[in-house]
Structure 1
Amino acid sequence: MNTNLSDRTKMKDSKPFQEKFGELLRTNKLAILLEIAVVFVPLYILLVISNRLGGDDFLPLGGGLVLAGGPLVNLGLVLTIAIFWVVSRLRGSTWSDFGLARPKGWGRTILMGIGVTVGIIVSFPLLISLIQLVFPVAQQDLSRFDFLRGNLPNLILNVVAAWFTAGFLEELLWRGYLMNRLVDLQGKNTKLAWVIALVGSAIIFGLGHTYQGLGGVIRIIVAGLLFGAAFLTIRRNLWPLIFAHAVLDTISFVQHYFGG
């Protein structure tokens, strides 16, 4: 009986602690900043190590199959997802808080996704051209994807993987999570706060693609701005962005397959 009483006491004590910690993560600016750092730093540190080591761009799976992104990068992504999940649970966040509420209709969601896709395809080259008027933007270094050329099994494998890692996870982490937390960090839910969050998340997103060179980072920042702007335009609904991101990555991979 004493043991049961002790267990109940511990449960009662632990619940207030979790609630207080969750409240701290929701309202304290320093706690929010530290949370963002804890979520993303493992991934970015392992990205830097991977880039410095070189040759860690692929994960051989045997049988000639190769997955883009080496062991260190994939480990960093797993750690980031795990930490994101833990802190989100502590804060009491739901999927809808990140823009993943159940769609009212998948047909309408897909149409919105097509709209986002077309909008980015049209506006992206225009923005890059405007930037190049100010200073030249070097070409992206996409040689790490040469293994896709003429290799249909690798194309299929990496397209499917990209739908999840890039299409779903990148949009969830950098748009759904990071933009919301950057607004929380400012302590006010205003249009200016969302614009600052949009720019900040795009820069952080671009810095995660340093393997593509400076030109690649600039292009990814522009892409991040476009995805973030779309996120705000469609009232922070993440599903159309996930669809658009998956379609755009598929187009890019197919181009590599044909030697583009």
Structure 2
Amino acid sequence: MRAAQVRKLLVIEVAIVLVLSFGTSGLRSLLRLISALLDPTPLNDQSTTLHAQQVAVSWLDLGLQVLGAATLFSWGCLALYLLWPHHKLAMLEARDWGWGALLAAVIGIPGLAFYLGALYLGLSKEVVPTTLEHLWWEVPVLLLYSAANAFAEEIVVVFYFITRLRELRCGVWPAIILAALLRGSYHLYQGVSAGVGNVVMGLLFGWVFVRYGKVWPLVLAHFLIDAVAFVGYSAVAGTSVGAWLGI
């Protein structure tokens, strides 16, 4: 197969993956932001909930929540399948947890200050991580979503998207920037600041991936930020660390 044909197929593949996953989410999020900005209510007087009860019957709601997380996992698995066997995912190592914890602190702590400042300035909605009713399955489901969000976003947006862009002869920094913009796009429903904050996070994560060739520290960092945000919020009322990220 000629190089031009391979390139065309890769472009089509990337377009399909984005339509099925975060590309469509980004467009939907942009439209929701426009709607929020057109609303006469100030942005910081509006709120958005990341995880809410979907139906009244507990076991049915549990099923829907698990299916939602499974969808996210499937996006990541699809990306891994398409990259296989030329770009295999390295095995998780013990030291990845240390790097993940460091990245979580670097992103999460300044992120809280950024979120509070943006909320005060009217650039962000109030982000409520969860409104689940403290059911017996609440914490396990929130941890499951933390893992699903982390796996899907870092595998698709960083590992898959940057890898494919590089194969399409995109420069290193243009690829990192495009991936960061994609990450920011699907968080815009929370407000302008959420988009900007996630672009910054995407630039850092993209650089780490390109520099060290590892994605597990990113997945683990993302998981830790989400776990603190979701489970911490379910335990005490208030603004959660990393909630501005929407992850």
TM-score scaled by structure 2?
0.67
- Tell whether the 8 Å contact from 1:56 to 1:69 is kept in structure 2 after alignment: no
Shift of 1:69: 7.1
Q: Which deviates more, 195-204 or 114-123?
A: 114-123
Q: Tell me, which stretches of 5 or more residues in structure 1 are unaligned?
A: 1-19, 188-192
* Other-structure match for 1:158: 142
* Other-structure match for 1:102: 91
* Other-structure match for 2:215: 238
Shift of 1:40: 0.9
The change in CA–CA distance for 1:31 and 1:61 in structure 2 (over 3 A counts) is farther
Amino acid at match of 1:175: V
The change in CA–CA distance for 1:107 and 1:210 in structure 2 (over 3 A counts) is same
Write out per-residue CA displacement over residues 170-207 of structure 1, whole angstroms, 9 at most, x where no aligned residue. Answer: 111111111111222225xxxxx222111110111121
**Higher RCO (CA 8 Å, separation ≥ 6 residues):** 2
Question: 1:82-231 counterparts in 2 under 5 A?
Answer: 84=79, 87-89=82-84, 92-95=85-88, 100-103=89-92, 106-124=93-111, 128=114, 138-143=123-128, 145-148=129-132, 150=134, 153-163=137-147, 165-186=148-169, 193-231=171-209
- The number of aligned residues is 215
**Residue 243 (structure 2) pairs with residue 248 (structure 1):** no
Shift of 1:24: 6.2
Residue identity (%): 20
Amino acid at match of 2:98: L
Q: Distance in 2 between matches of 1:56 and 1:122?
A: 20
Amino acid at match of 1:255: G
**Residue 27 (structure 2) pairs with residue 40 (structure 1):** no
- Tell whether the 8 Å contact from 1:149 to 1:256 is kept in structure 2 after alignment: no
Q: Tell me, which stretches of 5 or more residues in structure 2 are unaligned?
A: 33-47, 239-247
Shift of 1:250: 0.5
**Residue 54 (structure 2) pairs with residue 63 (structure 1):** no
Write out per-residue CA displacement over residues 149-178 of structure 1, whole angstroms, 9 at most, x where no aligned residue. Answer: 755632331222321x21222111111111
The change in CA–CA distance for 1:152 and 1:74 in structure 2 (over 3 A counts) is closer
Write out per-residue CA displacement over residues 69-88 of structure 1, whole angstroms, 9 at most, x where no aligned residue. Answer: 797x7797577457535543
Q: Please give the root-mean-square deviation of Cα atoms over the aligned residues, in Å.
A: 4.0
Highest CA radius of gyration, 1 or 2?
A: 1
Amino acid at match of 2:146: A
Higher helix share: 1
Q: Distance in 1 between matches of 2:172 and 2:17?
A: 20
- Tell whether the 8 Å contact from 2:96 to 2:216 is kept in structure 1 after alignment: yes
